[in-house]
């Protein structure tokens, strides 16, 4: 039965639910953006201090995980993480989220070539709201498929005027505000 059409509808509870889902979604989006921009503070902001992370290649706490991401992804030519559908189950100040993702990673080979590494999977997270801030307290990465194939930069070489993604604060999304008149 539609809760809005019944006497059981509680507007304040609905607003709290929507706000929690908005804030949890922001946690997930900050994390993905932080990975691609190689922004350790942004990645770290997704986790509470006592978080435990298991991504298969690494298991540990939030600070160790952030260092791991910066080292591994920093060794790649570029990355692009895409967040897909997200299922959030709320229970007061706790939540479980399952977030689908696809990631492309440009990998330089020892012989000077390039490889395109595609990984798709899901993050299964336990989150908590502490001091009015949602954060991840437990994360497990579930890998659903991987594809590793030859890559190349011919398109970018042939089109040098394209605005390319960048890292360490140099991405257009991080610098374009500087040129806007206020």
Domain containing residue 129: CATH number: 3.10.450.50
> Is residue 31 pLDDT above 90, yes or no?
yes
Look at the chain and report how many structural domains it folds into.
1
Residue 88 lies in a domain: yes
pLDDT at 138 over 60: yes
Percent of the chain surpassing pLDDT 70: 95
Q: Kindly report, residue by residue over 1-17, the tens digit of the pLDDT.
A: 455 556 688 999 999 99
Give the pTM.
Answer: 0.88
DSSP E strands, 16-77: 47-54, 59-61
What's the CA gap between 127 and 47, in Å, rounded? 9
**Can you give the pLDDT at residue 181?**
60
Asked whether residue 182 is domain-assigned, the answer is no
For the cut 70, the answer to whether the pLDDT of residue 73 exceeds it is yes
User: Is 33 part of a structural domain of the chain?
Assistant: yes
Q: What is the pLDDT of residue 140?
A: 98
Q: How much is the mean pLDDT over the chain?
A: 93
pLDDT of residue 6: 60
Residue 169 placed within a domain: no
d(C-alpha 41, C-alpha 53), whole Å: 17
Distance between CA atoms of residues 172 and 179, nearest Å: 11
Residue 133 pairs in a beta bridge with: 130
- With respect to residue 146, please indicate whether it lies within any of the assigned structural domains: yes
DSSP-derived secondary structure for 135-176: EEEEEEEEEEEEEEEE---HHHHH-TTSPPP--TT-SHHHHG
Is 171 domain-assigned?
no
Distance CA 114, CA 153 (A): 8
pLDDT of residue 5: 59
What average pLDDT score do residues 87-113 get? Answer: 96
Q: Give domain status of residue 160, yes or no.
A: yes
Residue 173 forms part of a structural domain = no
Domain that holds residue 153: 3-164
Q: 157 falls in which pLDDT band (50, 70, 90)?
A: confident
104, two tokens: 């492309």
Residue 178: per-residue pLDDT = 78
């Amino acid at each position: 039965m539609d809760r809005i059409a019944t006497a059981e509808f509680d507007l304040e509870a609905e607003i709290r639910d929507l706000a929690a889902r908005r804030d949890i979604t922001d946690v997930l989006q900050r994390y993905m953006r932080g990975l691609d921009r190689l922004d350790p503070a942004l990645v770290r902001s997704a986790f509470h201090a006592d978080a435990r992370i298991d991504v298969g290649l690494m298991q540990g706490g939030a600070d160790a995980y952030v260092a791991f991401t910066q080292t591994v992804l920093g060794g790649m030519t570029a990355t692009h993480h895409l967040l897909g559908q997200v299922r959030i189950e709320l229970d007061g100040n706790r939540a479980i989220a399952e977030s689908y993702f696809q990631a492309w990673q440009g990998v330089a080979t020892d012989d000077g070539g390039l490889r395109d590494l595609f990984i798709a999977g899901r993050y299964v997270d336990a989150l908590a709201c502490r001091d009015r801030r949602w954060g991840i307290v437990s994360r497990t990465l579930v890998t659903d498929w991987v594809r590793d194939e030859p890559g190349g930069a011919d398109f970018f070489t042939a089109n040098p005027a394209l605005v390319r993604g960048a890292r360490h604060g140099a991405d257009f999304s991080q610098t374009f505000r500087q040129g806007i008149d206020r």
